[in-house]
Amino acid sequence: MGSETTLKLPTIDFNDLNLDDSNNNNSKWEVVKSKVHNALIEYGCFEAIFDKVPLELYKALFPSLEELFDLPLESKKLNASKKPYHGYVGQYPMVPLYESLGIDDANVLEKVEAMTNIFWPNGNPNFSKTIQSFSEKLSELDKIIRKMVLESLGLEKYLEEHMNSTNYLLRVMKYKGPQTSEAKLGLSSHTDKNIVTILNQNQVEGLEILTKDGKWISYEPSQPGTFIAMIGDALHAWSNGRLYSPFHRVMMCGNEARYSTGLFSIPKGGYLIKTPPEMVDEEHPLLYKPYDHVEFLNYYYTPQGQADQFALRTYCGL
């Protein structure tokens, strides 16, 4: 893998766009859709400008995360889940700066409140509403991106099934500052395993993305309040490799903690990720057998799966 580069990711403006715009011959929809398609083929991700998240909500988010991560470790470990990587993750010697928690169905207030009450038995309405509102707004961006992806691939007839096949998980993350100017690993290089990830961060940078030709891009937001939209392995497989699922990592330096969020659209357990026949031809032979996302995660989080850089290919590749 190559060295870090100053190459910039594409920046795409989603302001003034709604899901219904694709049905109304909206010219901006078509322009943005083309940019999304090209960015996901070339980079597997892009920077999104999206003003549906109000500034006051954005400003409330990171103090809420600090409040959460300041809880005792015993409390944070109460964030448990039967699903791999859905609960508390941290205290790993390989990535000592990193810890994160997961909130299933974070766009649903009742689900967020139920999780919040585990940490704060008397409730924490401000935290719950901030997390739910933020997740709900970002889920709109997720849906717009996924609709554009299906349209650009000529797969509109699968849209309803595709949208109904997922739930949302919000992972909130903290990376401690390593107290040195020398770059330290915050999170190991990996691809996401889900459909689409939408990342957001405070003012502390560190996200790096690997290009197809092996160069690391150090992501620097073009303006405050932007997001990174990224393809996961599930959409890469579903599109029969048409869309690139990029490796990415976090490198930390300095004294400040980095707080970030990731909204993940995740295939429901029992739903088979199966490449549509329209994506398979002589030039594009089928790459992956149909698979269940949760069953794949059970493999991925074994020692064998963790040691395999291309675990999905090993698990169900052809």
3-state secondary structure of 22: helix
Instruction: Quote the percentage of the chain above a pLDDT of 70.
Output: 98
- Local structure of residue 11 (DSSP, 8 states): E
Q: Are 155 and 280 in contact (CB under 8 A)?
A: no
Find the helix packing angle between 27-42 and 125-152, rounded to 10°.
90
Sequence letter at residue 107: N
- Compute the distance between CA of residue 59 and CA of residue 34 in angstroms, rounded to an integer: 32
Cα Rg of the chain (Å, integer): 19
Q: How far is CA 105 from the centre of its chain?
A: 14
- Local structure of residue 114 (DSSP, 8 states): H
3-state secondary structure of 197: strand
Give 10's Cβ-side CA count (13 Å radius): 20
Residue 47 tokens read as: 């920077």
pLDDT, tens digit, for every residue of 55-97? 889 889 999 999 999 999 999 999 988 887 789 999 988 899 9
Confidence category of residue 287, pLDDT binned at 50, 70, 90: very high
Confidence category of residue 4, pLDDT binned at 50, 70, 90: low
pLDDT of residue 2 exceeding 80: no
Instruction: Summarize the confidence of residues 197-211 as an average pLDDT.
Output: 94
Confidence category of residue 305, pLDDT binned at 50, 70, 90: confident
